[in-house]
Structure 1
Amino acid sequence: MAKITFKGKEVTLLGSELKAGDKAPDFTVLANDLSEVTLADSKGRARLISVVPSIDTGVCDAQTRRFNEEASQLNNMSVLTISTDLPFAQRRWCGANGIENVQTLSDHRDMSFGEAYGVYIKEMRLLARAVFVIDSNDQVTYAEYVSEATNHPDYEAVMEAVRALQ
């Protein structure tokens, strides 16, 4: 199980840690219009899944903007940002920040994604910062659990894994 800290304090992650080579588990999250979204909805496409604790914080904002920028240059790849923020807050934030290439999704209702991907922070009911790259056959090709939730992921390593699928 991945060990992470949040502002220096160790937290408990619920679910199983994923590694490259694992089959990506299904999940159900909410789109900004409250419709359900599952992994199967993007079947046949590669996916970059960026996981953030809350889109309204500095590092989460920067991470989402970075992957939005990168997404504009990707072919046949879905770029998803998942947090526990309410869908309404995600929609407002995207509109205010011109985010058009990333689909923001909420795990607030069921924590389905958090448990399936091992990023559910038990003590805070938030998701730990992580990035997953999944190929079009639902195989995890890259998994990064950021050891300190207030730090950035390794953007270069993520994009190298993405480019390997292009």
Structure 2
Amino acid sequence: MSTVTLGGTPVNLSGTFPTLHQTAPSFTLTGKDLAEVKLTDFAGKRKVLNIVPSLDTPVCATSTRAFNQAASQLNNTVVLVISADLPFAAARFCTTEGIDHLVTLSTFRHPEFAKHYGVEITSSPLAGLTARAVLVLDENDQVLHAERVSEIKHEPNYEAALAVLR
């Protein structure tokens, strides 16, 4: 078990966070149209996994906007925003914010994703959501960048994540 903090208070996480050069675990999540979406659906593309607790929080919204802006300038790259938000809520957020360069995915039918990726919050009022993390995968799902943000209320290191794609 590992920990991060939420406002300075330790939060327990379950699972193992992927490390550099490891092959990312396969997953199935739910897309905005309620269809099942798998990691393999993005084969041959580089992937940014922006894992957030909920798009209804300021930091999650900020990171989603930042990666949306960056995504428009990245070749052969898809940005996946993964949260426990219902697909309808994520789609509404993107429509309201004018976000159109990324794919929102939900863990609501596939909570095992959080444990497989080492971001499952098991303590605190956020239990059941995901900790904040960013993974960058190459075309073959090898991890090029891995950051599990140590304080959930902090933004990820965008520059480090995007630098491996330039």
Please give the range of the TM-score, normalised by the shorter of the 2 chains: over 0.9
Conservation of the 8 A alpha-carbon contact between 2:2 and 2:14: no
Question: Which runs of structure 1 show a deviation greater than 2 angstroms over 4 or more consecutive aligned residues?
Answer: none
Q: Offset at 1:12?
A: 1.4
Secondary structure of the residue aligned to 1:159 is: helix
1:77-135: per-residue Cα shift (whole Å, max 9, x none)? Answer: 11100000111100111111111001111012221321111011112111000000000
Conservation of the 8 A alpha-carbon contact between 1:28 and 1:112: no
Residue in 1 that maps onto 2:29: 29
Paired residues in the alignment total 163
CA RMSD of aligned residues (A): 1.0
Secondary structure of the residue aligned to 1:156 is: helix
Residue in 2 that maps onto 1:61: 61
Q: Is residue 157 from structure 1 mapped to residue 160 from structure 2 by the alignment?
A: yes
Residue in 2 that maps onto 1:121: 121
CA distance in 2, matches of 1:14, 1:61: 24
Q: Please, which runs of 5 or more residues in structure 1 have no aligned partner?
A: none
Conservation of the 8 A alpha-carbon contact between 1:2 and 1:17: no
Q: Please, which runs of 5 or more residues in structure 2 have no aligned partner?
A: none
Secondary structure of the residue aligned to 1:23 is: coil
Q: Offset at 1:14?
A: 1.4
TM-score, structure 2 normalization: 0.95
Q: Offset at 1:2?
A: 4.4
Query: Aligned partner of 1:4: which letter?
Result: V
TM-score, structure 1 normalization: 0.95
CA distance in 1, matches of 2:72, 2:52: 20
Sequence identity percentage: 47
Conservation of the 8 A alpha-carbon contact between 2:28 and 2:39: yes
Conservation of the 8 A alpha-carbon contact between 1:2 and 1:145: no
Q: Offset at 1:142?
A: 0.7
Conservation of the 8 A alpha-carbon contact between 2:2 and 2:12: no
